[in-house]
Structure 1
């Protein structure tokens, strides 16, 4: 097909999380692009696994893995993604500029650093990326090595999806809470753990079963807090957790993660890259690593996140931090964390738009 396809100089293809979503940095770039008159003559195409589930304000949609998808991919002047475009294959159009934002800074091992015993990850497909964005030298150095991408192809500009976190105001936060039907008189905890690829049900779906008794949490902190539970998109079912009316709200299907970060006052996570993004807001973060030894053995981590942030290995530890540790003490650790791992943020979308335009302009 590659030998037969004629490149189209005004065609741009977007795909987020392999076609599962209409969000993240590709959407931030798209939203800015449709406001930028430099791109008025460009044809914009979004690829989705289920195109009928999404509405886009400008352009067209295509179903991933269809023949039409691969034709468009081969014709495109530019690919914009946060994961992969080739869908497990290894190809690139003759005239294609490949712009990859990836979807997070690594805490857990990635690419060639993952144990050969872990069958859930890995591909032999070559990364033929032209530019990849990153939030820090730490991130760029790791991805260059584990994905075998030339280091000079990385731009430390931050992630476009995170620009809105800088601009959030109290009014924006209030509007989000009201839109979600959440109380305005309580602090909001966002609990957003990552998935465990080795924890699956009989149908091989990822599941999560944190050792938490949220009725206990409600008794101890329910007067002051509510909790938003955000499971990773890979998780098919969260076990061992009952949604409590007025305290625990399951927001795993809420479409805009940034709004959850803006609406919340505290983040609790484990080994998720959400820590890096959330740190930009200068709000308290807590690490709940109840399976630290197991996770480090089965997946592996680049650093001990339990030493980098206020942490606990059981729910009593976490409740104690919430109830007794001052926000200033927690924020001191958060600022140190951000200084180490997030060097650039706030203007990533404009930077991306300029880079893309300069490389594809006719």
Structure 2
């Protein structure tokens, strides 16, 4: 019931307008009576669905940083019972207690939104947004008017918005109408792990996933199509793939890791045999999947930008590019930057087979390096950079 109500608010403009104006008025009125807790930091990831990504990287670093030793760390989750914290408190998102905690917190740290589509911020809150990907598909003020993912009425009161490049900073500043200087090229905290990944780390990730030495691991991580929904207004995803062809064509020494976007319903109809094709959509760490894999296949997902840090082949499987570009809009044609493009499943499988040859593999690596140099200017020190900004802004002295 709650999921259906949230989908209705998200995709029905009149319902969202009512929710926004009433909720925003109430919280800004309540704020007049709430006192800021200068030692309280509130976190969430993907609206409370997860305990991962850049907010978790920042949280774990704060636990080790003496400058934050006397702070309370509170995580907001949709289902708190699913997560455990070593040093922190949990709270259920979208409750009165959640919004009251948000008004009290001195610092907010999120990769999406803590305001839940409303327009409020605490009286003295320092709002850090790491976002959850580099923009390839259009967003915010750049969205086409007919797009069902209409922009929030919220004015986005961020104080720090982390990016990996000037390319990102310019887009985010425009689409979220941010003041100059809010977007900083700090690097994304979650990607420090990718920049620092070692051979030992790769071996550990592969062992954890049950990938044998010598196996080729292909990570298939497509994005969702918000214009494809079921009767419950949930996004569905059914690519033109006949999964039984993959092990037959690529060989049983190849394992396919399928990472569906969190917005999608599990409609991909994966085979029951998990030996060669595995659904890793619920696997906690996308970084571990990227580190463990040998090749990435995606379409319009920001995962391309993060994966490029690892300097491994990336393949574009944009079979519906014209339809997607017409419905959502793109900042540039991703097909020009890597092998693949608007190809069929058969062409994709032939391409993946060709990458088993060392010369073809290395050529694809060089295309990835070119992409990284263009779009990822800063990586490896994101956590450190963000902690230093927060400490300076809230006047923490070195301890």
Shorter-chain TM-score tier: over 0.9
Instruction: Establish whether residue 151 from structure 1 lines up as the match of residue 177 from structure 2.
Output: no
Deviations 1:121-149 (A, max 9, x none): 31111111111000111111001001101
Report the equivalent of 2:155: 126
CA distance in 2, matches of 1:240, 1:38: 49
Report the equivalent of 1:293: 322
Matches within 5 A, 1:211-222: 211-222=240-251
TM-score (norm 2): 0.88
Matches within 5 A, 1:159-308: 159-308=188-337
Deviations 1:249-282 (A, max 9, x none): 1111111111100110100000000000000000
Report the equivalent of 2:57: 28
Q: CA deviation at 1:185?
A: 2.8
Q: State whether residues 79 and 92 of structure 2, in contact with CA within 8 Å, keep that contact through their aligned partners in structure 1.
A: yes
CA RMSD of aligned residues (A): 1.2
**Aligned pair partner of 1:328 in 345, 362, 378:** 362
Q: CA deviation at 1:201?
A: 1.6
| Other structure's SS at 2:323 match | helix
How many residues matched?
362
Q: State whether residues 212 and 240 of structure 1, in contact with CA within 8 Å, keep that contact through their aligned partners in structure 2.
A: no
Gaps of 5+ in 1: none
CA distance in 1, matches of 2:274, 2:58: 37
Q: State whether residues 316 and 335 of structure 2, in contact with CA within 8 Å, keep that contact through their aligned partners in structure 1.
A: yes
Q: CA deviation at 1:361?
A: 3.1
Q: CA deviation at 1:223?
A: 3.8
CA distance in 1, matches of 2:273, 2:186: 41
Structure-2 change in CA distance of 1:14 and 1:247 (3 Å): same
TM-score (norm 1): 0.97
Gaps of 5+ in 2: 1-29
Q: Which runs of 4+ in 1 moved over 6 A?
A: none
Q: CA deviation at 1:182?
A: 2.9
| Other structure's SS at 1:151 match | coil
CA distance in 2, matches of 1:145, 1:167: 31
Q: State whether residues 172 and 183 of structure 2, in contact with CA within 8 Å, keep that contact through their aligned partners in structure 1.
A: no
CA distance in 2, matches of 1:306, 1:241: 26
Instruction: Establish whether residue 50 from structure 1 lines up as the match of residue 84 from structure 2.
Output: no
CA distance in 1, matches of 2:173, 2:189: 20
Deviations 1:155-186 (A, max 9, x none): 10110000001222222222222222332330
| Other structure's SS at 1:9 match | strand
CA distance in 2, matches of 1:73, 1:144: 24
Report the equivalent of 1:353: 387
Report the equivalent of 2:349: 319
Q: Which moved more, 1:76-85 or 1:318-327?
A: 318-327
